[in-house]
Chains A and B, each alone.
Chain A
Amino acid sequence: MHTIPGRRIILLLFLVFLLLPIYWLVNMSFKTNGEIVSTMTLWPHQPTLENYTRIFTDESWYSGYINSLKYVIINTILSISFALPAAYAFSRYRFLGDKHLFFWLLSNRMAPPAVFALPFFNLYSAIGLFDTPWAVALAHCLFNVPLAVWILEGFVSGVPREIDETAFLDGYSFPKFFVKILVPLIASGIGVAAFFCFMFSWVELLLARTLTSVNAKPISAVMTRTVSASGMDWGLLAAAGVLTIIPGALVIWFVRNYIARGFALGRV
């Protein structure tokens, strides 16, 4: 690929710009509150793990992480398993209302979550799912299912039709073809779609906070409430923030070769 003059400097400056605020968060998470407030130090002079120990020993903190992971995983599984057959249908067949349906799905990915906060609260309270991981997982399906359909449709379209036809001639039933042939062929696409579902469910706060109160409170909500309650425990807040970055950083590593194409929604 052709690149431009001065590219190293541009790239370096940009990466530093990206990493500096994150470094500052990590830096603060290893400081005592005394050091944070009293002096300006570029690295922790009295490094401490106290902030992290507090999070790992206090149930109200670490249960936040478990709750978040619960609904994120439920949502990812739901979104992918619902979206796979639909992606196949959109990619291979024309049927009554297909274009309108696809547009309607897309429009839900774009709908502002703030619009849904209050009605979701009423809906999930009414059906008794309020304050469970299921409420948040189902609510996040609103934008993750359309996204998964969209990404997977791009990948399914990359599989030649001849493969379907050969499989059916060989006597494969539809479900068997689906599980034995199609799914392995688009495994990387499923990985990318799962990554995106994980990501958008993990980063969302508004709906997750609105739909939970005590038992299923996600880590993001624990963070906001503790800040207002205990005043300025910056070190603890920073440590909690660092811990929320880790799952994301881990999953990026696994899909790093597909990230770029995934962000183009399988359409590059």
Chain B
Amino acid sequence: MMDKTVNQKAWFLVLPVFLIVAFSAVLPLMTVVNYSVQDTFGNNQFFWNGVGWFKELLDPSSDLGGRFYASLLRNLAFSAIILAIEVPLGILVALSMPRDGWRVAACLVILALPLLIPWNVVGTIWQIFGRPDIGLLGYTLNHMGIDYNYVSNEFDAWATVIVMDVWHWTSLVALLCYAGLKSIPDAYYQAAQIDGASRWAVFRAIQLPKLNRVLLIGVLLRFMDSFMIYTEPFVVTGGGPGNSTTFVSIELVKIALGQFDLGKAAALSLVYNIIVLIVCWIFYTVMTNAGVDHTKREGAV
């Protein structure tokens, strides 16, 4: 980190990446900006609309604004709930991992399995699993006397989407924490044992500080990905019942590809992207600051 040399020619090495990402990111974003300030009567005839769409979007009393704020709130609530479950559960699972041998490999493979299932198949799995007529979960719950139906009941729909996300992504947090725990030298534990430290003291003083960095990555990746979740809830609930599980991405796709309301969709896209960009910037700043404290260790990676 410290001994990087200044060399402007490095730009030539970065140029291909810059070009390909710019092609996929900047060109489409320019189209979005273009749409966001125009209105159309169809037939590809556009006229200037200024900040009209943005005004409507940010005004909670309009139809568009109401839908935007409602889906944003839903999405934030969803992100908060899954973080509150997945982070502690992930740490717990990481701490429970076997020490070594074939068991570790087997556990790692099973943990990683949900992460590699296409998102729509994740939706399909839970759609089937939760159905009261043919799904094990829905069938069992209903036979235990719990009236469970994720298609018609809002609470059940939310519970299903949350349990599905916990199923899908807790492994990510667990794997991150496992990687963090693995990097703690044995000498630390031996020292703690000599000091007669309790199990809890070991966690607080040795393991948790070491987990800080990976947990930061985990929390932010999970926040970002849950904030732009689309496919899984779309397959399971279709955003319903009513609009109860319509998150921001689902709303956006509805407006953009469903109603083909280009101006509204573009304005929503930009505001959505700006929120993501701000959170991302906080993430990046915290990460690089944490990196400064860890320069030595990074060199040893």
Chain A interfacial positions (CB closer than 8 Å to B):
1-5, 7-8, 10-11, 14-15, 17-22, 24-25, 28, 36-37, 40, 42, 78, 82-83, 85-86, 88-90, 92-96, 98-99, 101, 103-108, 110-120, 122-123, 138-139, 141-142, 145-146, 149, 154-155, 157-158, 161, 199, 202-206, 210, 219-220, 223-224, 234, 237-238, 241, 244-245, 247-249, 251-253, 256-257, 259-261, 263-268
Contact = CB atoms under 8 A, between A and B. Distances in A.
Given A17-B167, A244-B118, A264-B179, A89 B14 contact: yes
Given A114-B252, A138-B23, A101 B171 contact: no
Interface string B15-44: 011101101110111011000000000000
Contact of A82 (B20, B118, B183): B20
Q: Is the interface of B mostly helix, strand, loop or mixed?
A: helix
A45 B94 CA distance: 38
Given A42-B136, A204-B119, A263-B172, 7 more contacts: A104-B21, A118-B265, A142-B24, A220-B120, A223-B120, A238-B128, A265-B217
Given A106-B280, A114-B249, A101 B18 contact: yes
Given A157-B299, A256-B105, A248 B113 contact: yes
Interface residues of B, number: 109
B124 A241 contact: yes
Interface of B: 1, 3-11, 13-14, 16-18, 20-21, 23-25, 27-29, 31-32, 89, 92-93, 95-99, 105, 107-121, 124-126, 128-129, 133-137, 139, 167, 170-172, 175-176, 178-184, 189, 199, 202, 207, 213-214, 217, 224, 227-228, 230-231, 235, 248-250, 252-253, 256-257, 262, 265, 269, 272-273, 276-277, 279-281, 284, 288, 298-301
A145 B182 CA distance: 28
A256 B280 contact: no
B68 to A, nearest CB: 13
A163 to B, nearest CB: 13
Contact of B109 (A89, A92, A103, A253): A253
A21 B129 CA distance: 6
Nearest to A11: B96
B276 A112 contact: yes
A142 B21 contact: yes
B17 A86 contact: yes
A203 B117 contact: yes
A204 B118 CA distance: 6
Contacts of A93: 4-7, 10
